Structure 1
Amino acid sequence: MRMRKKPWARPELEGSHIFLVNPKENKGKWKEVFNNDNPIHLELGCGKGTFVAVHAAENLHRNYIAIDIKDEVLVLAKRHTEKEFKDRNIENIDNVKIMAHEIGLIEELFGENEISHIYINFCNPWPKKKHKKRRLTHPSSLKKYIEYLKPSGEIWFKTDDDELFRESQEYFTESGFVITYITYDLHESGFKNNVTTEHEEMFTREGIKTKFLIARSTK
């Protein structure tokens, strides 16, 4: 369902220190943005922000960048992050940045070896053959990611879509990754570090299993 335009969303975002108005200016300088040498984790398509909010609040020794294209969802990610930190009595949000940017142009944002982990959660499966190159796990995208991933950097990928999951395994292998963990039913797998997203909750209620893998760069 398409979200309606909310004219108040951008002013609210720009009033927050965790939102970056011109993220391209930070390419190659993300350590300076966070003012530390902690590993940087990147979520592509953060939606309403539950995933990044929980991860960041539980792992203050890591930096998190969350990207989506719509102000209307990013403002919810901002609010979720603020609430998660407040609920845990964490006074300052120092390890999160959110930004509006087209994921297909992600190479504009990051320099070589700047990112330790990438998270791709329930991305559009683009099932039609002519659209498959738009997938966030397509080799054309993975070849971009591997440039700014650190050596042995990881991509964590979750989806409800069987075909996308099956074909993505081939994409990762073709693109210089090795799959180090895989499950076709994440919630029954015993995997300890899962943070459930909004889409994940919805699909689980419908009886759809979450597929999950971890792919490590071999560069």
Structure 2
Amino acid sequence: MRLRGRKGIRENLESQPGLVVLDPREYKGRWSERFGNNRPIHVELGMGKGQFISGMSVKYPDINFIGMDMYDELIRRAGEKAKNAWSLEGEGHPPNLNLALGNIEFIEEFFEQGELERIYLNFSDPWPKTKHGRRRLTHPRFLDKYKKLLNDNGEIHFKTDSQTLFEFSLNAFAASGLQMSDITLNLHRDGLNEKHVMTEYESKFHAQGMNIHRCEVIVGKEALRRYEERKMGMF
């Protein structure tokens, strides 16, 4: 992806130290300290322009959110979205949201084992060519990293418009021994699902009549125990 950023973009990001983290390695194992509390931490990997993570931070004020992307310009745009979502001006910033500049390839350098409760993968690059399969964020080599970073309540929530990527991901989750839940091939079949905060891509694709595929992946021991209890209660 090529982004044409504004002049002075780095200076813009540096002027927002309360919201923007330019080197997430500095906070590995210390994100709760940065947020100033021990609330659960949810991370969106590849947040784009930030509509989803900003909306989630408003909807769930008792959760700490981190939106991560590798492009300065997307961090800048997400910062604007965040301030608009919270109706903030000047030096104000959302109390439960950080935007981190980082390459997901090195995610284990940004978070300590068990530091995260949830990972969101929304409309990740499908890398359609077979030879690029290892770059997909649901490839087993990434799943192995996520499993280490997620705590006992850990889950992965995954959304995509790509049927090919969805099929690949379901197989990858299964091959990695992960339990899947709430699998749907058309999230908004009966109209907009109000329980879900939409991303920019999701809004666009839904307006075009495209199906949104989604599933939840249960990773942590406690999360798996609750899932089994819910399943038993259905019978």
Provide the TM-score with structure 1 as the length reference: 0.93
How many angstroms apart in 1 are the aligned matches of 2:25 and 2:203? 33
Q: 1:208 aligns with which of 203, 207, 210?
A: 210
Residue identity (%) = 38
Q: Which residue of 1 aligns with 2:66?
A: 65
- Residues 35-62 of structure 1: per-residue CA shift (max 9 Å, x gap): 1010000000111100010100111100
Query: Is the 1:178–1:218 contact (alpha carbons within 8 Å) kept by the matching residues of 2?
Result: no
3-state DSSP class of the match of 2:181?
strand
Pairing of 1:70-219 with structure 2 (within 5 A) = 70-86=71-87, 93-188=94-189, 191-218=193-220
How many angstroms apart in 2 are the aligned matches of 1:188 and 1:125? 22
Query: Is the 1:159–1:210 contact (alpha carbons within 8 Å) kept by the matching residues of 2?
Result: yes
1:205 offset after TM fit, Å?
A: 2.5
Task: Please tell me the residue identity of whatever aligns with 2:11.
Answer: P
3-state DSSP class of the match of 1:180?
strand
Query: Is the 2:23–2:102 contact (alpha carbons within 8 Å) kept by the matching residues of 1?
Result: no
- Residues 158-179 of structure 1: per-residue CA shift (max 9 Å, x gap): 0000011011011112223210
Mark the runs of 5 or more structure 1 residues left unpaired by the alignment: none
1:115 offset after TM fit, Å?
A: 0.4
Change (3 A) 1:218 1:113: closer
Task: Please tell me the residue identity of whatever aligns with 2:214.
Answer: F
Q: Which residue of 1 aligns with 2:52?
A: 51
149-158 or 61-70: bigger deviation:
149-158
31-40 or 191-200: bigger deviation:
191-200
Superposition CA RMSD, Å: 1.6
Query: Is the 1:176–1:218 contact (alpha carbons within 8 Å) kept by the matching residues of 2?
Result: no
Q: Which residue of 2 aligns with 1:14?
A: 14
How many angstroms apart in 2 are the aligned matches of 1:203 and 1:92? 30
Query: Is the 2:151–2:220 contact (alpha carbons within 8 Å) kept by the matching residues of 1?
Result: no
- Residues 120-175 of structure 1: per-residue CA shift (max 9 Å, x gap): 11011011111001000010000001101012411110000001101101111222
Provide the TM-score with structure 2 as the length reference: 0.87
- Residues 190-216 of structure 1: per-residue CA shift (max 9 Å, x gap): 855211111112212322111011011
16-25 or 1-10: bigger deviation:
1-10
131-140 or 26-35: bigger deviation:
26-35
3-state DSSP class of the match of 1:186?
coil
How many angstroms apart in 2 are the aligned matches of 1:43 and 1:218? 18
Which protein is bigger by CA-based radius of gyration?
Answer: 2
Task: Please tell me the residue identity of whatever aligns with 1:209.
Answer: N
Change (3 A) 1:115 1:24: same
How many angstroms apart in 1 are the aligned matches of 2:50 and 2:93? 17
Change (3 A) 1:152 1:39: closer
